[in-house]
């Protein structure tokens, strides 16, 4: 269980600082301080938000669990990019659980939460969403490397991938737990944010700017991939030896990059901008009016990730069908490496033994 520390860290002025801290106050006290509405009964709007949120959470859980299962049981997916996709699915699965936890502790139930439970609720969200974003950045960099070397899989060792995944979660945990261990406003009510009444506005500013920087890096990386692929197609189309299958792969890659960028910008940018405005203390910005909607939009991206990065892969779709039809095939042994392909769909091997680029992820 999360050990939330509300102490002053043993500083020399502990006694003086305690006089200005509000560790024993209720959640309602901080909501009133930030002028954030805290209802004591279920409104129609609250019921609709919870119903929609739980529905999205369940779908996110099921789809990402399907992705993780497919990567585990199919040996063709035991490569760096799929390990990162599996980790992304794990992060999004965690995001689904965190959002579901939020739905069960929102509305009128918020007023009943202890400060510790409120911090747990928010830390789960922050950690899961940060893990998802950082993982998306790692996948973007990996795709950039493999596309420019014309390989389906990178040469990164499994050990390096595991270290990278470990670093992703350490970063997510640090950013998610920082508010619980001191970067809050329990001792400085004038610094409390509107959207998260127990969080310091400076933390929201830091978190929003950090994510926006990651967004910018991703946009640059995927834009570079997009430009490279377009130029490559233009040059190759002038040669009569330009294989149609290669053209299909390139077109598919361009479509995927476009979908990734569009979904990412649409789902994440509004929430980060709203957080930044709240963190900067914008008085004329009614951030509370759109708070729940931008958070739901960010959660929907956890569903889109599974679709874009996994469902567009033919082998992944085939594995999904095998999993979903497991009851029908319970008497037959699953053999992931034996897949019959026709002549046009057969993949060719490159010099290093890896498949050439024939994937839309």
Say if residues 226 and 254 touch (Cβ distance below 8 Å): yes
Does 119 map to a domain? Answer: yes
Q: Is residue 304 part of a domain?
A: yes
The pLDDT tens digits for 39-71 are 888 889 889 989 999 999 999 999 999 999 999
Chain CA centroid to CA 276, Å: 19
CA dihedral 256, 259, 262, 267 (to 10 degrees): -120
What is the DSSP annotation of 41-92? S--HHHHHHHHHHHHHHHHHHHHHHHHHHHHHH-GGG-SHHHHHHHHHHHHH
Q: What is the mean pLDDT of residues 278-283?
A: 87
Distance CA(307)–CA(313), nearest Å, equals 9
Whether 251 maps to a domain, the answer reads: yes
Residue 115 confidence class, pLDDT cut points 50, 70, 90: very high
pLDDT for res 353:
37
What six digits make up the tokens of 345? Answer: 């769909």
Question: Does residue 21 sit within a domain?
Answer: no
Does residue 41 belong to any structural domain of this protein? yes
Encode 37-47: b = buried (16+ Cβ within 10 Å), e = exposed: ebeeeeeeebe
Phi and psi at residue 112, to the nearest 5°? -90, -10
* Per-residue pLDDT at 169: 95
Does residue 356 sit in helix, strand or coil?
coil
How confident is the model at residue 103, as a pLDDT? 92
Does residue 171 lie in a domain region?
Answer: yes
Q: Is residue 346 part of a domain?
A: no
- Say if CB 310 and CB 84 are below 8 A apart: no
Cα 108 from Cα 38, distance rounded (Å):
7
**CA triple 175-79-264, angle to 5 deg:** 45
Q: What is the pLDDT of residue 94?
A: 94
Are 127 and 176 within 8 A, CB to CB?
A: yes
155-185 tens-digit pLDDT: 778 888 999 999 999 999 999 999 988 899 9
Task: Find out whether 67 and 85 touch, Cβ atoms under 8 Å.
Answer: yes
Number of neighbouring beta carbons within 10 Å of residue 218? 21
**Are 323 and 66 spatial neighbours (Cβ–Cβ below 8 Å)?**
yes
Is there a contact between 53 and 296 (Cβ–Cβ < 8 Å)?
yes
Q: Is 145 exposed, middle or buried (0-12, 13-18, 19+ CB in 10 A)?
A: middle
Residue 81 pLDDT class (50, 70, 90 cuts): confident
Which CATH number is 161's domain given? 1.20.1070.10
Range of the domain at 108: 27-327
Give tens-digit pLDDT for 281-309.
888 888 888 888 888 888 888 888 888 87
Q: Is the dihedral of CA 139, 317, 70, 98 positive or negative?
A: positive
Give a yes or no: residue 250 inside a domain.
Answer: yes
* CA pair distance 211, 207, nearest whole angstrom: 6
Q: Summarize pLDDT for 322-349 with one digit per residue, the tens.
A: 888 874 555 454 444 444 444 344 343 3
Name the phi and psi angles at 192, rounded to 5: -70, 140
Number of structural domains (the chain) is 1
């Amino acid at each position: 269980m999360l050990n939330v520390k509300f102490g002053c860290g043993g500083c020399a002025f502990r006694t003086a600082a305690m006089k200005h801290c509000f560790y024993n106050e209720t959640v309602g006290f901080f909501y009133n301080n930030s002028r954030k509405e805290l209802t004591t009964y279920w409104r129609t709007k609250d019921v609709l938000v919870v119903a929609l949120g739980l529905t999205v959470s369940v779908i996110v859980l099921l789809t990402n669990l399907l992705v993780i299962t497919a990567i585990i049981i199919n040996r063709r997916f035991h490569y760096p990019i799929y390990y990162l996709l599996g980790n992304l699915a794990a992060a999004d699965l965690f995001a689904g659980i965190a959002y579901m936890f939020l739905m069960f502790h929102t509305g009128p139930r918020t007023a009943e939460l202890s400060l510790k439970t409120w911090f747990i609720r928010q830390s789960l969200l922050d950690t899961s969403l940060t893990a998802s974003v950082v993982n998306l950045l790692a996948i973007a960099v990996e795709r950039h490397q493999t596309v420019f070397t014309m390989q389906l899989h990178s040469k990164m060792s499994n050990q390096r991938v595991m270290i990278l995944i470990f670093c992703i979660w350490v970063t997510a945990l640090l950013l998610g737990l920082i508010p619980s261990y001191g970067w809050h406003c329990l001792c400085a009510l004038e610094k409390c944010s509107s959207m998260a009444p127990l969080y310091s506005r400076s933390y929201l500013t830091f978190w929003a700017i950090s994510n926006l920087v990651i967004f910018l890096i991703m946009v640059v990386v995927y834009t570079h991939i997009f430009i490279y692929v377009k130029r490559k197609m233009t040059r190759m189309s002038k040669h009569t030896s330009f294989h149609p299958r290669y053209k299909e792969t390139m077109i598919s890659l361009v479509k995927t990059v476009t979908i990734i960028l569009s979904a990412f910008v649409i789902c994440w940018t509004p929430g980060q901008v709203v957080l930044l405005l709240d963190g900067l203390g914008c008085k004329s910005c009614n951030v509370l009016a759109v708070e729940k909607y931008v958070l739901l939009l960010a959660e929907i991206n956890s569903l889109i990730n599974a679709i874009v990065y996994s469902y567009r892969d033919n082998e992944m779709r085939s594995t999904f069908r095998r999993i979903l039809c497991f009851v029908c095939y319970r008497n037959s042994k699953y053999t992931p490496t034996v897949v019959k392909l026709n002549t046009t769909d057969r993949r060719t091997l490159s010099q290093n033994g890896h498949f050439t680029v024939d994937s839309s992820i």
